[in-house]
């Protein structure tokens, strides 16, 4: 791009390449912003537009993300080998709700260590998250800055390696 700045971001590694180009000079520099784990974030939400918006947000910030429409679908993904770095769990869903999913999750050793963040429009979401031993609760509409802080705290390459070594 002549006379301007072009930025390119690779999603998984969050490497930002910046090129400043004029007809006489081209400068290129690379900034490593953060490293994202390869393990996806599992978004368990029955409302497709909310689920898709959360997945898009996560992918735009460099995370892999997988969606499930209810707790039963999410648990099936886990049984088939998916090992997310975090589970974002809606509480109110048909088939298997968030509480039922979390109860089942902690009964199975390979899945019990996966951190869960509960998100809900219910007024008692924080108490429910605490009773389910979730790492946090987010009220709908989700505060994405807080979600990113939680992901950076609980969903890093280092914590993923530590969880893998525990199994």
pTM for the predicted model, two decimal places: 0.73
72 and 2 inside one domain: no
The answer to whether residues 95 and 45 belong to one domain is yes
pLDDT greater than 90 at residue 79: yes
One domain for residues 60 and 85: yes
E strand map for the chain: 4-10, 15-21, 26-32, 41-44, 65-68, 86-90, 116-120, 136-139
Identify whether the C-beta of residue 62 lies closer than 8 Å to the C-beta of residue 55: no
4 and 86 both lie in a single domain: no
> Measured at the alpha carbon of residue 126, what is the angle toward residues 124 and 86, in degrees to the nearest 5?
130
Determine the average pLDDT of the residues in 30-48.
79
29 and 109 within one domain: no
Dump pLDDT digits (tens) for 41-59: 999 999 999 999 999 989 8
- Do 110 and 151 lie in one domain? The reply is yes
Q: Are residues 14 and 46 in the same domain?
A: no
Three-state secondary-structure class, residue 36: coil
Q: Which residues have C-beta within 8 Å of that of residue 156, sequence separation ≥ 6?
A: 35, 37, 85
Domain count, the chain: 2
What percent of the chain clears pLDDT 90, i.e. is strictly above it? 36
One domain, residues 47 and 21: no
Q: Are residues 94 and 155 in the same domain?
A: yes
- Report how far residue 53's alpha carbon sits from residue 152's, in angstroms, rounded to the nearest whole number: 19
Which domain does 53 fall in, by range?
41-166
3-state secondary structure of 167: coil
Pair 102, 134: CB distance under 8 Å: yes
Residue that wins the pLDDT comparison between 4 and 29? 29
pLDDT of residue 18: 62
For residue 146, give the H/E element and its range. helix 144-154
Here the CATH number for the domain that contains residue 104 is 3.40.50.2300
Residue 82 and residue 7 in one domain: no
Residues 25 and 52 in one domain: no
Q: Which residue has the tokens 């109110």?
A: 92
Mark whether 45 and 120 lie in a shared domain.
Answer: yes
């Amino acid at each position: 791009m002549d006379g301007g700045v072009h930025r390119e971001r690779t999603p998984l590694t969050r490497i930002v390449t910046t090129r400043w180009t004029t007809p006489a000079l081209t400068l290129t520099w690379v900034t490593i912003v953060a490293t994202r784990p390869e393990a996806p974030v599992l978004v368990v939400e029955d409302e497709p537009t909310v689920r898709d918006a959360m997945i898009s947000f996560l992918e735009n910030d460099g995370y892999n993300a997988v969606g499930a429409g209810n707790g039963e679908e999410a648990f099936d993904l886990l049984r088939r080998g998916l090992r997310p770095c975090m589970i974002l769990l809606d509480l109110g869903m048909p088939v298997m709700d968030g509480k039922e999913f979390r109860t089942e999750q902690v009964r199975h050793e390979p899945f019990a260590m996966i951190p869960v963040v509960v998100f809900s429009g219910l007024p008692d979401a924080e108490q429910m998250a605490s009773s389910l031993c979730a790492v946090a609760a987010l009220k709908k509409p989700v505060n994405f800055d807080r979600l990113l802080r939680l992901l950076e705290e609980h969903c890093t390459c280092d914590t993923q390696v530590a969880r893998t070594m525990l199994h």
